[in-house]
Amino acid sequence: MEQMKHPNNPQITVIIPVFNEEAIIQNTLKQFKNYFDIEVLVVDGKSTDRTKEIVTQFSLNNKQIHLITSSKLSRATQMNYGAELATGDILLFLHADTILPNNFQLLIQYILQKKNIILGAFKLVINGQKKSLRLVEKMVNLRSRWLSLPYGDQGFFITKDNFNRLGGFTDLPIMEDFNFVQRAKRQGEIAIANAAVITSARRWQKLGVIRTTIINQLIIIGYYLKIHPDKLRAFYRSFNTKNT
């Protein structure tokens, strides 16, 4: 890997795990064009499409953005690798189809300065017109605030020190975000910022809102029942494979 040129002592490193995201990654990266005091690490899981080419081309005129390649396709492994290389003292884990609120830097810094807070995330808005998506948003945001249980698509942020104390993400094939939040809750409080990320509706559009919600809940139940993560992943992929 070529030596990366970092901005001067960035406070925040944004880590974006990707795999075959040529359709959306450029739009996601555009939101960082005017942020010169942060670092953006796009961690590729050996994409076979034009993802790496697009990121590399975009980074030529945006020196705060860097492409790195993970040793394997695994969201947990990719995020941990990004965290290992990050030069910021705050880590922000972002899905490839998600846009941050305009004032995300100030919100993150304000929340994480509180000593009792170990992990933060944003509220969720889904970029789609269906009324059923508004119900999903409402349930997600209620769950996040009242149960302190945000998911990875809400943009986790944490100090690098606390991330290392937690041991990073467990290398699970699925539910790595759920597992991470559970472990974090044992060490401190979870904060939900009073601003939302905007995420793509593609997951819900693919299988339908009701079906997607049911599948997600079955995965969570299976996790609590200690069904092996490989079996949960295979169950989840069986629906997506049938509909590709």
Which range marks the domain in which residue 24 is found? 12-203
User: ∠220-221-223 over CA atoms, to 5°?
Assistant: 65
26 to 18, 55, 97: CA distances (angstroms): 12, 7, 10
Q: How many domains does the chain have?
A: 1
pTM: 0.93
| 189 vs 238, residue with greater confidence | 189
Is residue 232, in this structure, part of any structural domain at all? no
Q: Inform me whether the pLDDT recorded for 242 exceeds 70.
A: no
Average pLDDT over residues 197-217: 93
Give me the CATH number covering residue 17. Answer: 3.90.550.10
| 5 vs 84, residue with greater confidence | 84
Share of the chain above pLDDT 90, in %: 91
Is residue 51, in this structure, part of any structural domain at all? yes
pLDDT band at 2 (very low <50, low <70, confident <90, very high): very low
**pLDDT for 107-124, tens place per residue?**
999 999 999 999 999 999
| 214 vs 243, residue with greater confidence | 214
- What is the pLDDT, as a whole number, of residue 229? 93
Q: Inform me whether the pLDDT recorded for 6 exceeds 70.
A: no
Q: Is residue 100 within 8 Å of residue 121, measured between CB atoms?
A: no
Is residue 223, in this structure, part of any structural domain at all? no
**3-state secondary structure (DSSP) of residue 91:** strand
Is residue 29, in this structure, part of any structural domain at all? yes
pLDDT band at 241 (very low <50, low <70, confident <90, very high): low
- What is the pLDDT, as a whole number, of residue 240? 73
- Return mean pLDDT, the chain: 93
Q: Inform me whether the pLDDT recorded for 1 exceeds 80.
A: no
Is residue 98, in this structure, part of any structural domain at all? yes
**Helices in the chain by DSSP H: which ranges?**
25-30, 51-59, 75-85, 104-112, 131-147, 160-165, 176-185, 202-207, 209-224, 229-242
Buried b (16+ CB within 10 A) or exposed e, 51-84: bbebbeebbeebebbbbbebeeebbbbbbbbbbe
Is residue 174, in this structure, part of any structural domain at all? yes
**pLDDT for 157-204, tens place per residue?**
999 999 999 999 999 999 999 999 999 999 999 999 999 999 999 999
